[in-house]
Structure 1
Amino acid sequence: MNVARLIVSLAAGLVFGFGLALSGMLDPSRVRGFLDVTGPWDPSLAFVLGGAVLVAAVGMLIVRAMSRPVLDDRFHLPPTRPVDRRLVSGSAIFGIGWGMAGLCPGPAIAGMAVGLPASMIFLAAMILGMAAHDLTKPNVAAPVAI
């Protein structure tokens, strides 16, 4: 990977982390407040998600107009695969964990960068879970990175 790609990757990660911190999404109680529709509901996550969808939509319009990426010779997209039992069960496990912890990997990494204990515990548990998966399913191919 060349230096320009590293710098752009770092800048994108910093902007993402800053946006999560600015929106309050590093606080697990905000996420749980959104998911708990029977208690005092907090709609702030819906606005964050809506803003993210708008930014991603603009980005996709720009990408679709490009013949190739700025810092590479071609786009590297994963193959399209059908929805199967593994995808649905993995998504359900991810969603249940997200709801219980109030964190997913992006906010947890951003929270770890500022020393939030909940993020450190979450990331340790996530790494242990990934290792346990790899020990029980060693022949499963890793997903293709975009």
Structure 2
Amino acid sequence: MRYWLMKSEPDEASIDHLAHAAKKTLPWTGVRNYQARNFMRDAMQVGDGVLFYHSSCPQPGIAGIAEVSSSAYPDPTQFDPKSPYFDPKSTQETPRWLLVDVHFVKKTPLVPLATLREHKELADMQVLAKGNRLSITPVTEAQWRFITEHLV
């Protein structure tokens, strides 16, 4: 089992959207970074833990816990010309972008980025690295355990 931090803008897909979605599951659409795509394609497995992180908002931070609930498959938004995630270079035969489904586990009190920075146990988290912009980053088992046992 692996662990991940997945960022989402809450006006697009929040922990509340996930909690109220059909079957409490949403496809993680719109990833347009090759490294994040490769995490989904090559490393994520059904059952992996997810720290659901609200980003690009007034108070960014961990807002809940989820889990990966599907293997990677083509993101349909890449084929939709009306989507902001449309990619004219993608085809049904050779899709460039993938997604996984994410399933709601629980909403937590928000753990702001500043709170994560306060704990030496989390100093190596990729989300805390200067200049990190990835929407999906791995989380170590020790980091997961510290966050789930002490912060949420």
How does the TM-score come out when normalised to structure 1? 0.24
1 or 2, which has the higher helix percentage? 1
Higher-Rg member (1/2) = 1
What's the TM-score, normalizing by structure 2? 0.23
Which of the pair is proportionally richer in strand? 2
